Amino acid sequence: MNPVIKTVLQRLGLGLLTLFAVSVIIFSTLELLPGGFAQAILGQGATPETVANINKSLGLDRPAVTRYFEWVGGAVQGEFGISFASAGSGWGSSNARHVSDIIAPRLYNTFFLAAMTAIIAVPIALALGLLCALYRNSWFDRIANALTLTTIASPEFFVAYILVFFLAVKLRWFPPLSTISDTTSFWEHIYKAVLPSLTLTLVIIAHMMRMTRASVISLLSSPYIEMAKLKGLTPKQVILRHALPNAWAPIATVIAFNLAYLVVGVVVVEVVFTYPGIGQLMVDSVSKRDMPVVQACALIFAATYILLNLLADIVSIVTNPRLLHPK
Amino acid sequence: MTQTQTETRVIKARRSYVQNVWRILKTAPPTAIFGMVVIAIYLFCALFAPWIAPYGEADIVGKSYQVSSSEHWLGTDQIGRDTLSRILFGARNTIGIALLTVLISFCIGGVLGIYAAVTRGWLDQILSRLVDVLMSIPVLIFALMLLTMMGKSVWNLVLILAVLDSTRVFRLARNTSLNIVVQDFVEAAKLRGEGMRWIVLREIVPNILPPLIAEFGLRFCFVFLTIAALSFLGVGIQPPTADWGSMVAESKTLITFGRPQPLIPAGAIALLTVAVNFVVDWFLYQTSGLRDEK
């Protein structure tokens, strides 16, 4: 078999195994819930009979392994069970909502925000990181270094509130809260998502710039680049023919790593701007102890995170043949 | 002629430990000095909060949402507590809880990591795979999920974050120790019949200490920011305990009226993590020779 395909398949298998293990962990947290599922729905009014009743009607009296595979099977098809919070008022009544119905619109909003951020942040960060690496130790590089370190070290909400304070409250350019409903038009959605997206952009640009800078510098100091310079190639040829082919792997890793970072950053930023995304839903559900919703959100976040890292690894394997020959 | 010169040369006494530290400190760049000064001020505030703070942690001392005045330098919060006092007590709670978490996490991760590296047995395999899986879930997401399950309380928060964070410490401790374990001097110690205790404490720990200390600073920043984020989200440190993350959440509505109230605790968090980062940066530069080029 072609060694490239073999390595990629190995990595894919490992990724799927990780995904499986993570889903088992997330599933088992529900099993560990004190008192169990039924107790959590019924709250104070739980009697042994009603608890047994609900367990039976939901099939919770069956072994955990069976239910795990049902849950995963459902999750793959986008079906995560029924929300506790909606079921609390009266079990089996018409207001019991499916988790997938709650999540679907919010998932779209979150991906909208993440995509908008990525489209702005990735090109800017790569360009700035490259400039810093090429003109390292210049004033530009030093200022950028101090600024990015400060941004990375600040909590997301600090960056967010500074932006709100100046751009929304003092200058009144953008709304301080992103209230988005089903009727919001596409362009209005973009306008309202500017501040949350700008916050995320600033945070991940800082990360991405530093990582790009570091990987380009380590690349440019490698012996074969020096060789290329010494044999009299123009800087353009050195960069395009010799540096760039080997730079794809680190750059892909940098991008995927930061998009994965976005997955976490989105939670806090959505809460700051009350942006109706999946992060805010998760935080609300944690306060209500609505376990099925929290599980579904956690699974979506974790899966995105794992898949992005997997993607980065595969891109770096495919673009960098040197990785195929481990010493 | 040359003979007499060498003989008359005064041999200096060996520099004491304090002198050495002082010599290194004098070469510190301005960012690192800034960082150390900030950390010192924060620690001072945290330790002496009850003596510095003009009012008590949870005392209601005036009307709610007052602007800054000579009585209340930073104004009052939503139920009329003095913001300055709460910031000072918040230093104590927020930094204290984060430090405790990181210490626990280093105890778990460090001990297991070194043990795994020294023994290299099935335990190493199991722990390493477990850590791989745990690290593939973002900490904030995992913490939110576990807090739902175990309920919101400070002890649960400390425990959950310590365990989740110890995976990072485990990996660093294991990988750095692995490099040391294969060195000749460890082999020599084994051959002369030293026990496990000696090998770990006298051969391995001194060699992996610098990266671990730097990691301690970075882990502290990470845990500190995660706790602040969780408290901001309302699932971390619970009221009435003064804490910077929840203070931002409590005063966040004020910002839409043009008052920069939430920026004060948020800035306090940012300043500390920036300061720690500056110091760690310099420390890494000093100890590992981690320089950008040549």
> pLDDT tens for residues A291-327?
788 888 888 888 888 888 888 888 877 876 665 565 4
Residue B209, min C-alpha distance to chain A (Å): 24
Whole-number pLDDT of residue A46: 67
What residue of A is the nearest CA neighbor of B260?
A165
CA A23 distance to own-chain centroid: 16
pLDDT in tens, B185-233: 888 988 988 888 888 888 888 888 888 888 898 899 999 999 988 888 8
Q: Cis bond leading into B240, ω under 30°?
A: yes
Residue A5 lies in a domain: no
Residue A286 lies in a domain: yes
Whether the pLDDT of residue A84 is over 70: the answer is no
- B198 and B216 Cβ atoms separated by less than 8 Å: no
Of A82-96, A182-196, B82-96, which range is least confident? A82-96
What residue of A is the nearest CA neighbor of B149?
A33
Residue A71 lies in a domain: no
* CATH code of A291's domain: 1.10.3720.10
Q: Which amino acid is at A125?
A: A
Whether the pLDDT of residue B11 is over 80: the answer is no
Domains detected in chain B: 31-60+76-292 (1.10.3720.10)
| Facing B137 at nearest CB: one of A22, A268, A271 | A22
pLDDT in tens, A18-68: 888 888 888 887 676 655 666 666 666 667 777 777 766 666 667 777 777
Whether the pLDDT of residue A140 is over 80: the answer is yes
Cα A89 from Cα A42, distance rounded (Å): 9
Whole-number pLDDT of residue B292: 42
| Facing B293 at nearest CB: one of A153, A157, A217 | A217
Phi and psi angles of residue A98, each rounded to the nearest 5 degrees, phi first: -75, 140
Residues 6+ apart with CB under 8 A from B238: B152, B153, B154, B246
Interface contact flag, A271 B233, Cβ < 8 Å: yes
List the 243-262 stretch of A: residues with Cβ below 8 A of B: 260
Percent above pLDDT 90 for chain B: 17
Token code pair at residue B5: 């010169």
Whole-number pLDDT of residue B8: 64
Q: Nearest-CA neighbor of A215 among A237, A173, A255, A247?
A: A247
pTM: 0.84
Whether the pLDDT of residue A138 is over 70: the answer is yes
Token code pair at residue A272: 């700051």
Q: Is B193 left (phi over 0), alpha (psi -120 to 50) or beta?
A: left
Cβ-based contacts of A169 with chain B (< 8 Å): 255-258
Interface contact flag, B136 A164, Cβ < 8 Å: no
Whole-number pLDDT of residue A93: 45
pLDDT in tens, B233-255: 888 888 777 888 888 888 887 87
What is the residue range of A272's domain? 104-324
Cα B49 from Cα B54, distance rounded (Å): 9
* CA-to-CA dists, residue A104 to A142, A264, A289, A294, angstroms: 44, 19, 20, 14
Residue A16 lies in a domain: no
What residue of A is the nearest CA neighbor of B131?
A18
pLDDT in tens, B92-115: 888 999 999 999 999 999 999 999
Cα B266 from Cα B254, distance rounded (Å): 14
Cβ-based contacts of A302 with chain B (< 8 Å): 136-138, 141
Whether the pLDDT of residue A201 is over 60: the answer is yes
Token code pair at residue A142: 């030093």
Whole-number pLDDT of residue A58: 63
Interface contact flag, A155 B269, Cβ < 8 Å: yes
Residue A30 lies in a domain: no
User: Which of B142, B148, B150 has the most A C-beta neighbours within 10 Å, making it the best mutation to test the interface with A?
Assistant: B148
Cβ-based contacts of B232 with chain A (< 8 Å): 155, 157, 268, 271
Of A194-198, A240-244, B37-41, which range is least confident? A240-244
CB atoms closer than 10 angstroms to residue A195: 24
The residue-averaged pLDDT of A219-226 equals 84
Number of domain units in chain A: 1
* Residues constituting chain B: 294
Handedness of CA A129, A130, A135, A137 (dihedral sign): positive
Residue A28, min C-alpha distance to chain B (Å): 11
Average pLDDT, chain B: 83
